[in-house]
Structures are given as C-alpha cells and as structure tokens.
C-alpha cells in the first residue's frame, strides 16, 4: 500500500507539472515576477551550497535578459542569526541586480509558505519559479493548487546522479504535499500585512520595469524636463539659452 500510494502521488505531481517546466533558461517565457526559493548558503560539511549559487545565477540571468521584470526573494529568517533573503539579496547586488528590482520575503519557511505568501501578501498572480529540476514539480503543484499562473525555470549544471539524494527526498516530499493540501488543509505559518510590488495600472501582476522606477540624477532629470518643454513649445523663434556647466 505504501508503494502504491508513493508511486501514485509522484505520478500525479509529475503529470500535472512536467509540461510547465523549462530546462533551458534561454527558452523560459517572460513573466512579471521571478520567485527565488531560499536555501542555505553553506553545506553542513563546509563549502558553498551549489543549489544556492545555481538559483541566484539563474535569477540574475533571467532579470538581465528581460525574462522577468522583478525578483521576489523568499527564504527563512526564523532567528536574527539566520537570514536567507538578506544573504541572497547581498549576492544578487554583487551580480549587479539593482535594489529596485528585488523584493524580500522574510517568512518563506517552506515551499508552501513561499507560494502562499506570494499570492496573499505580495499579490502575485503570474510567476516564474526559479529552482532545481527536482524541486520544481512539487513547487508547481502547490502553485497550481493555489491558483497561480506559474511556470518553472530549472537551473543547470548538475546531473541527476549528483543530486540523487535530493531526488530521493522529493519522492517522499510529493506524498507529503498531497496530504498537506487535500487532507490536512495546510495554511501558511505567517501571513501579515499586504506588501505591494511595484505594479502599474496596465493589468494585474504587471510589473513596472526597473528603468522606470529608478530615480535619475537631478541634472539628467532637469535636462529631460527642459527638452520636453522645448518640444512642446510653439515653432516661433525662441531666445537661445546659453550652455551651463553642471558640476
């Protein structure tokens, strides 16, 4: 019975989600939000967690290529000494991702909490899930259950043999998630007040591009303002304004 339940649960999850996973990052469709799932920076035996680095590299690549307009960075911050979102934020800044392109979620204690909060706290409706191939089926299954229009973009660089223990873990995790959703009626650990992402009036989930949100230096803004005035002015000759040196 245990084997039948395990196989059936995994087949159900795979059947509902496999068509929504893209393995080549260049082919990932554009979405307004890219959701980065948190994970620990280091391994217990020492060294950097390869899954952590792969997620951040993919997130940075998708934003720079314009495949996502905004990054929602979610992770665990259950104590003052452990803060996954801030660590990811710092590393993404080093990868030249501007602050205006990132929003941090400090209560992403689990995959379910991260996705539920993205919908109920941050108002996300369309999203690209950024994670490993072994994790995306379960994440997409939860997203679909929550009514999110989600697609998965998988990281690369490691084989199934390299990640064999994570694939094995996911076999059981997929059984657990079905029990959580359909039997235990799971709810997120913490929601809190709504946090508005930088959306525009063009439609639900539409993110304002970062270049429209970052304030320009005063001299540049003043020069553009003068140019707009000149373009709107009548065609009659106007007195010339001498050039000024802006220090």
Q: Specify the DSSP element, H or E, that contains 182.
A: helix 164-182
Distances (CA, A) of 65 to 26, 79, 187: 9, 35, 35
What does the pLDDT read at residue 209?
Answer: 52
- According to DSSP, the β-strands at 126-131 and 31-37 are parallel
pLDDT for 194-208, tens place per residue?
888 875 444 445 555
The mean pLDDT of the chain is 85
Give the CATH number of domain 2-182; options: 3.40.50.620, 3.40.50.11030, 3.30.420.10, 3.90.650.10. Answer: 3.40.50.620
Residue bearing tokens 């379910």: 112
pTM for this structure?
0.80
Q: Which range has the worst mean pLDDT, 90-104, 155-169, 225-239? A: 225-239
**Rounded average pLDDT over 155-174:** 91
Question: What is the rounded CA–CA span in Å between residue 91 and residue 192?
Answer: 27
List, in sequence order, the alpha helices (H) in 68-149: 84-94, 111-120, 136-145
192: region left, alpha or beta (phi > 0 left; psi from -120 to 50 alpha): left
Q: What percent of the chain has pLDDT over 90?
A: 63
Contact 126, 33 (CB under 8 A): yes
**Which of 54, 109, 58 has the alpha carbon at shortest distance from 85?**
109
Question: What is the rounded CA–CA span in Å between residue 63 and residue 153?
Answer: 13
Residues 6+ apart with CB under 8 A from 52: 39, 40, 41, 88
Q: Residue 178's pLDDT band (boundaries 50, 70, 90)?
A: very high
């Amino acid at each position: 019975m245990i084997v039948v339940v395990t196989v059936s649960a995994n087949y159900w999850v795979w059947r509902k989600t496999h068509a929504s996973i893209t393995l080549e990052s260049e082919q990932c469709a554009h979405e307004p939000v890219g959701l980065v799932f948190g994970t620990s920076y280091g391994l217990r035996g020492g060294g950097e967690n390869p899954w952590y680095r792969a997620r951040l590299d993919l997130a940075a690549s998708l934003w720079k290529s314009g495949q996502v307009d905004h990054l929602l960075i979610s992770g665990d911050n259950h104590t003052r000494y452990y803060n996954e979102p801030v660590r990811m934020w710092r590393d993404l800044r080093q990868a030249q991702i501007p602050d205006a392109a990132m929003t941090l979620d400090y209560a992403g204690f689990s995959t379910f909490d991260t996705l539920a909060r993205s919908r109920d706290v941050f108002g996300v409706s369309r999203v690209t899930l950024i994670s490993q191939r072994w994790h995306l089926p379960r994440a997409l299954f939860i997203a679909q259950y929550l009514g999110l229009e989600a697609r998965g973009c998988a990281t690369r660089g490691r084989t199934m043999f390299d990640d064999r223990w994570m694939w094995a873990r996911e076999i059981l995790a997929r059984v657990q998630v079905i029990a959580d959703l359909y039997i235990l009626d799971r709810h997120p650990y913490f929601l809190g007040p709504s946090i508005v992402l930088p959306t525009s009036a063009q439609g639900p989930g539409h993110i304002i591009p970062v270049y429209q949100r970052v304030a320009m230096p005063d001299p540049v803004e003043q020069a553009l303002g003068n140019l707009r005035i000149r373009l709107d002015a009548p065609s009659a000759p106007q007195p010339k304004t001498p050039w000024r040196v802006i220090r």
